[in-house]
């Protein structure tokens, strides 16, 4: 079940990257697109979960907005933020959309000025923070008990395997 869940998550992220990246070229906006995709399709089924035969279910009362938002923040926004921080810490920047709007992200400006100095502590801090968030996401995803990981227990959801219809 864990491999199916991870494969479904990977397929969903790849779909969002393929669709969103050519449009925005901005890691923060790609993470936002992934969170919106996950949140909107949580009650139905994401493409990754459909392809791997999985479905998120809530209690008998259904998935409330609060439960869906909690699950999306933990499963999508947390690792996405970690990736953005790692990329920024490594010095990778392509703020095409924001620069096109005439707005420069403060951390890019600060990071460029700090990186010119001898310390470069901001890049290191972003890198460590990003790896910490990614590590937390991995530990959280591997905390599988039956059909529920930590984020499922926190949001009151479970991921179940769909039964194949007999012909």
User: pLDDT, tens digit, for every residue of 16-40?
Assistant: 989 988 888 788 888 999 999 999 8
167 inside domain: no
Phi-psi region of 102 (alpha: psi -120 to 50; beta: other; left: phi over 0): left
3-state secondary structure (DSSP) of residue 145: strand
Distance CA 147, CA 149 (A): 7
Contact 61, 55 (CB under 8 A): no
Q: pLDDT band for 165, please (50, 70, 90 cuts).
A: low
148 inside domain: yes
Residue 154 has pLDDT above 60, yes or no: yes
55 inside domain: yes
Contact 4, 52 (CB under 8 A): yes
What's the pLDDT score for residue 121? 75
119 inside domain: yes
166 inside domain: no
pLDDT averaged over the chain? Answer: 79
Q: pLDDT band for 152, please (50, 70, 90 cuts).
A: confident
129 inside domain: yes
Q: At what angle do helices 121-142 and 2-24 cross, to 10 degrees?
A: 140
Domain span holding position 141? 2-161
DSSP letters of 54-90? Answer: EEEE--TT---HHHHHHHHIIIIIHHHHHHHHHHHHT
What's the pLDDT score for residue 12? 92
Distance CA 42, CA 98 (A): 29
126 inside domain: yes
* Residue whose tokens read 């990003």: 130
- Count: domains in the chain: 1
With CA atoms as reference, report the closest residue to 34 among 78, 89, 85: 78
User: pLDDT, tens digit, for every residue of 76-124?
Assistant: 899 999 998 888 887 766 555 445 545 455 544 444 444 444 346 777 8
User: pLDDT, tens digit, for every residue of 65-78?
Assistant: 888 888 888 888 99
């Amino acid at each position: 079940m864990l491999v199916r869940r991870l494969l479904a998550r990977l397929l969903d992220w790849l779909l969002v990257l393929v669709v969103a990246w050519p449009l925005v070229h901005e890691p923060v906006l790609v993470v936002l697109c992934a969170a919106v995709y996950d949140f909107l399709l949580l009650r139905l089924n994401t493409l990754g979960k459909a392809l791997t035969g999985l479905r998120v279910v809530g209690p008998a009362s259904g998935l409330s907005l609060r439960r869906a938002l909690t699950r999306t923040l933990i499963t999508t926004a947390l690792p996405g933020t970690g990736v953005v921080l790692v990329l920024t810490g490594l010095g990778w920047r392509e703020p095409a959309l924001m620069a096109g709007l005439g707005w420069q992200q403060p951390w890019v400006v600060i990071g460029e000025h700090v990186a010119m100095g001898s310390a470069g502590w901001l890049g290191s801090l972003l890198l460590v923070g990003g790896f910490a968030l990614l590590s937390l996401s991995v530990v959280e995803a591997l905390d599988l008990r039956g059909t529920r990981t930590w984020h499922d227990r926190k949001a009151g959801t479970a991921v179940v395997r769909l039964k194949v219809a007999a012909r």
